[in-house]
């Protein structure tokens, strides 16, 4: 509980949960991550409840501990712990962290249990308390998706399914599902949307996956598995990429899409990323899958620093974005982003498109992707690019291009009311 309180406070102060968990003692990391995810999905309501029960904000260390305990006591279908356990552990944690506040913590939590229904109802009268997202985020979603915004917000608080990508060079999805069943892991084939995708009934460690170490399977969300086929396969009047085609993966880390491209076709692949450390992860992925690509640490916008002047047959631009489509996998994202971030990210995306377009051959294709549900980072961005470039034509591919929302009716379901896919945007552009 202390580690979780520290993690939640760090996120409130603008630190990534991934970075915080990396500093957590290894034996406490899995439990801290699970509890932090739970709390961050309920943070709006828990903060509103704390403000009701203790209107004078306590010191940060006590406030974060109280907020964590309130989130763990929040009425949900399957509470992680019993009420008595949460209160007992919160008071014990307070005695270690701020001994003078232990009685205060005890009193607040016991009052919450007595008045829980009324406190929760009051907290949920505020949009942030009801949907557990910042008000500016809720308003932007409401403007972009007037009919779906509430469903998207609720979907963001679901537990995402674990999806796998079977390496097409080693086997197919139906055969792999049978291998999983033989080891006691229940799974199913996703189907036409992503034919190599397998969805697990419940998450397991990668070490439990048969053939993982040998590169036979990778962990990748089903929506992310749409990128590589868009780049290499035939669509409408576009033929498939020829063997040996020169391809750029412009923002490659952590390398899932890079590897998928090489699984689908024999390519001369150049992978870029601004962070050398993140490229190490890409190389590890490629090594496990026994694939090869040329990796370079560079800002894709600075073509003079990395481009040799040879035009590319295809480009995958998986651009930096708000990550608003993958909030259920990264519940800290909504609390880390600020309203001004979207315009700043959209400006970077536009700069990347402008810098990379001249490196593409006439007749070549560029796939623009973001894991965002905000139109400023998706359709609006592409529409503006098309206005600026008369030599660019969009190719519409049913089920692939456009905004993909993380909703159960926007593709196959992982279970009752849970979408298989994260929120993504894809555009396929051809150079005339």
pLDDT at 421: 83
Measured distance CA(123)–CA(43) in Å, rounded = 11
Quick check: 24 and 10 in contact, CB under 8 A?
A: no
Co-location of 382 and 338 in the same domain: yes
**What are 112-123's pLDDT values in tens digits?**
999 999 999 999
Instruction: Please report whether residue 58 resides in a domain.
Output: yes
Co-location of 177 and 275 in the same domain: no
Co-location of 206 and 234 in the same domain: no
Burial of 312 (0-12, 13-18, 19+ CB in 10 A): buried
The confidence band for 414, taking pLDDT boundaries of 50, 70 and 90, is: very low
Does residue 251 have an active-site annotation? no
pLDDT surpasses 80 at 85: yes
- Number of domains within the chain: 3
**What are 280-292's pLDDT values in tens digits?**
999 999 999 999 9
Domain boundary among 202, 219, 236: 219
Query: Where do the H-state alpha helices sit in 203-296?
Result: 227-232, 256-264, 276-289
Torsion, CA 148, CA 150, CA 151, CA 157, rounded to 10: 140
Residue 372: partners with Cβ closer than 8 Å, 6 or more residues away: 321, 322, 323, 324, 325, 378, 423, 424, 425
Out of 24, 251, 321, 371, which one is annotated catalytic? 371
Co-location of 311 and 417 in the same domain: yes
Q: CATH code at 305?
A: 3.40.50.150
Measured distance CA(224)–CA(326) in Å, rounded = 11
Co-location of 40 and 169 in the same domain: no
In angstroms, the Cα distances linking 375 to 46, 286, 323, 342 are 30, 33, 12, 10
Co-location of 215 and 274 in the same domain: no
Instruction: Please report whether residue 323 resides in a domain.
Output: yes
Measured distance CA(352)–CA(356) in Å, rounded = 6
Co-location of 259 and 347 in the same domain: yes
Co-location of 118 and 243 in the same domain: no
| Beta strand segments in 274-389, E | 294-297, 312-318, 360-370
Burial of 125 (0-12, 13-18, 19+ CB in 10 A): exposed
Instruction: Please report whether residue 157 resides in a domain.
Output: no
pLDDT surpasses 60 at 415: no
Co-location of 215 and 259 in the same domain: no
Co-location of 207 and 324 in the same domain: no
Instruction: Please report whether residue 154 resides in a domain.
Output: no
**What are 348-365's pLDDT values in tens digits?**
999 999 999 999 999 999
Q: Which residue has the higher pLDDT, 289 or 418?
A: 289
Instruction: Please report whether residue 255 resides in a domain.
Output: yes
Co-location of 381 and 280 in the same domain: yes
The residue length of the chain stands at: 432
Co-location of 193 and 295 in the same domain: no
Domain of 194, in residue numbers = 163-219
**What are 122-161's pLDDT values in tens digits?**
999 999 999 999 999 999 999 999 999 999 999 999 989 9
Measured distance CA(404)–CA(391) in Å, rounded = 26
Helix-strand-coil split of the chain, %, nearest 5: 45, 15, 35
Instruction: Please report whether residue 405 resides in a domain.
Output: yes
Quick check: 259 and 225 in contact, CB under 8 A?
A: no
Nearest by Cα to 153 from 44, 27, 35, 301: 44
The SS3 of residue 384 is helix
The encoded tokens of residue 289 equal: 């899958």
């Amino acid at each position: 509980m202390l580690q979780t309180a520290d993690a939640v406070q760090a996120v409130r102060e603008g630190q990534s949960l991934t970075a915080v968990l990396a500093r957590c003692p290894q034996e406490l990391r899995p439990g801290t991550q699970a509890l932090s995810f739970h709390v961050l999905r309920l943070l709006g309501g828990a903060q509103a409840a704390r403000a009701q029960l203790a209107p004078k904000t306590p010191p940060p260390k006590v406030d974060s501990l109280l907020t964590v305990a309130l989130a763990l006591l929040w009425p949900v279908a399957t509470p992680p712990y019993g009420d008595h356990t949460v209160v007992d552990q919160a008071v014990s944690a307070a005695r270690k962290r701020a001994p003078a506040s232990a009685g205060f913590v005890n009193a607040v939590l016991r009052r919450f249990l007595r008045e829980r229904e009324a406190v929760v109802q009051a907290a949920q009268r505020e949009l942030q308390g009801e949907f557990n997202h910042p008000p500016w985020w809720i308003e932007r979603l409401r403007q972009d998706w007037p009919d779906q915004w509430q469903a998207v917000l609720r979907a963001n608080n679901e537990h995402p399914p674990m999806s796998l990508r079977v390496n097409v060079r080693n086997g197919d999805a139906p055969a792999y599902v049978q291998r999983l069943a033989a080891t006691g892991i229940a799974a199913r084939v996703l189907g036409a949307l992503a034919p190599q995708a397998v969805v697990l009934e419940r998450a397991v460690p990668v070490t439990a996956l048969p053939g993982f170490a040998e590169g036979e399977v990778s962990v990748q969300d089903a929506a992310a598995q749409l990128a590589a086929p868009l780049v290499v396969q035939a669509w409408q009047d576009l033929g498939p990429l020829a063997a040996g085609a020169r391809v750029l993966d412009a923002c490659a880390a952590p390398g899932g899409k890079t590897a998928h491209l090489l699984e689908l076709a024999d390519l001369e692949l150049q992978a870029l990323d601004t962070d050398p450390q993140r490229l190490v992860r890409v190389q590890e992925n490629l090594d496990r899958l026994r694939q090869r690509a040329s990796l370079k640490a560079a800002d894709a916008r600075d073509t003079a620093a990395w481009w040799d002047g040879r035009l590319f047959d295809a480009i995958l631009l998986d651009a930096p974005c708000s990550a608003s489509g993958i909030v259920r996998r990264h519940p800290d994202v909504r609390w880390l982003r600020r309203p001004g971030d979207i315009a700043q990210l959209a400006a970077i995306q536009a700069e990347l498109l402008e810098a990379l377009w001249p490196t593409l051959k006439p007749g070549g294709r560029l796939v623009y992707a973001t894991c965002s549900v905000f139109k400023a980072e998706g359709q609006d961005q592409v529409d503006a690019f098309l206005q600026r470039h008369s030599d660019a034509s969009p190719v519409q591919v049913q089920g692939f291009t456009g905004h993909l929302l993380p909703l159960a009716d926007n593709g196959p379901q992982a279970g009752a009311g849970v979408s298989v896919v994260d929120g993504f945007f894809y555009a396929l552009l051809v150079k005339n």
